[in-house]
């Protein structure tokens, strides 16, 4: 239940934006600033292979966020998830 007495399913788009805008804006600014720092630093020295792969994942994530899909959160989760391996317990020493 929201402070206005609405259930989560009754929340309007306007209300969601009103509640989330500043927080989301701050996160987007953080992402942009991080990418700027990466770009400036990689002008000096080349990114390692693993850093390059992670940078590419960030670019893919941005494309997912920019899409009009109604499953963006799910798509991002899959993008950043490891592939399932049945021996994961041994891999992580559990």
> Is a pLDDT exceeding 90 seen at residue 85?
no
Identify the residue with better confidence: 72 or 92.
72
Residue 13 lies in a domain: yes
Asked if residue 1 is part of any domain, the answer here is no
Is residue 89 domain-resident? no
Domain-embedded: residue 90: no
- 29 within a domain of the structure (yes/no): yes
The tally of domains found in the chain comes to: 1
Instruction: Assess if residue 88 is contained within a domain.
Output: no
pLDDT at 10: 79
Q: What is the DSSP string of 28-42?
A: HHHHHHHHHHHHHHH
Query: Range of 16's domain?
Result: 8-79
d(CA 70, CA 13): 14
The answer to whether residue 26 sits within a structural domain is yes
Predicted TM-score (pTM) of the model is 0.74
């Amino acid at each position: 239940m929201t402070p206005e007495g609405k259930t989560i399913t009754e929340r309007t788009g306007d209300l969601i934006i009103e509640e989330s805008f500043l927080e989301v804006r701050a996160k987007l600014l953080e992402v942009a600033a991080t990418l700027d720092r990466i770009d400036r630093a990689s002008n000096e020295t080349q990114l390692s292979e693993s850093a390059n792969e992670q940078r590419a994942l960030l670019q893919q994530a941005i494309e997912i966020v920019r899409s009009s899909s109604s499953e963006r959160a799910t798509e991002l989760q899959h993008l950043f998830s490891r592939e399932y391996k049945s021996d994961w317990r041994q891999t992580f020493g559990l």
